[in-house]
Amino acid sequence: MARLVRAPDYQPHVEAPMEPDPIVHDIHARQDDEAKYADGWDRPLCRLQQWVEPGSRFVPEPGRYHLWLNYGCGWSHQVLMLRAIKGLDRVVSVSHTGLGTAGQRGSDRFDSAYSVYNCNNPTYGRTQLTIPFLFDKREKVVVSNDPAQILLMLNTNAWDEWAAPDEKLDLYPQDLRVAIEQMNDIVYPGINDGVYRCWFADSDAAYDKAVARLYEALAAVEETLRSQPYLCGDQMSMADIRAFPHLIRFDTIYWTLVLREPRPPMLKSGDYPAIVRWLQQLHEHPKFRPTCDLALATRFYLGPQLSAAESDALYMEHKMDWMPGLDELVAKRAGEQLDSTRLYKVRKI
């Protein structure tokens, strides 16, 4: 038998190891959702993106930072949930705010997002007015208005000094970051932003494409949760924090607001038992339940079309059986000194 003779310089081919995703080691390397998932859909970038971190201009300190947000907004709800489960409600204060143009520039008494944005910059609030955003009370400046970035900076262990032992959680651990972002590839463009793509679709074709992607994403999430308790396995992660606020709003708000006749099924139709079970599990978490007020969120979204009473009736009709009734939510708002007629409270910070 002939013997194969290799040339002296022969080197067997070996596949080069894949480079790890940069986000595994550096959260700053994460690409903006608005840019990554644009796909012809124009959601502007959040233009204020500074970091609260040790050694920076903005160092973590208790009492220095303030969150401006609203119970209606799903992106705000993400931040409320992370703040709650990390125990940062004792460290980072919060106000529920409207998005009007009231308020005095340069004042420390704010009654709208506009007045906060413009307290340091007299023109910014005319060009981009979004919630949630993180405000530095010492320097009177908005640190960031990017909800994904706010989640990451509040999740770091730099805040653990002021946390109880059971609150020293890492919801974006290195070994799960790739999986979390892979889930975000489904959830962000398909559900979180996907409902807006349905709402603002400017043609039947665009709407049909957005609805198809929305229900493909719901099917993928349902399949995932049928085999595991959380979106990235056996432990809660940032993937769950990102998805919950938007899925909990689906039946009571998005189904009515963004979908056209004939509407596809609600989550509570029976087609999505794993999603509903996961929603209830997170809703009943003692840290998360106080962050939820879907009746107020329904008013926030449907207020232009419906009266407060009509919005409340819609909430009661479409809510899951395990969600609170109106009386419980009214008492909750009173305890928080929240003006439910205007959706926010005025406060001096």
Helices (H) and strands (E) in the chain, counts: 13, 6
137-142 long-range contacts (CB < 8 A, ≥24 apart) are 137/63, 137/64, 137/65, 137/66, 137/349, 138/64, 140/108, 142/48, 142/116, 142/117
Q: What is the DSSP letter of 67?
A: E
| 104 Cβ contact partners less than 8 Å away, ≥ 6 residues apart | 115
Phi-psi region of 103 (alpha: psi -120 to 50; beta: other; left: phi over 0): left
Distances (CA, A) of 82 to 245, 280, 292: 11, 17, 13
Q: How many CB atoms lie within 10 A of CB 127?
A: 10
Sheet of strand 65-69: strand arrangement: 93-96, 65-69, 133-136, 141-144
Residue tagged active-site, from 37, 46, 65, 73: 73
- Give yes or no for a contact between 331 and 295, defined as CB atoms under 8 angstroms apart: no
Active-site annotation holds for 73: yes
Active-site annotation holds for 344: no
Residue 230 phi, psi (nearest 5) = -130, 170
Q: Which two tokens stand for residue 169?
A: 């959680």
**CA 112: distance to chain centroid?**
21
- Give yes or no for a contact between 255 and 268, defined as CB atoms under 8 angstroms apart: no
Distances (CA, A) of 134 to 94, 209, 241, 284: 9, 34, 18, 27
- Please identify every residue annotated as catalytic: 73, 196
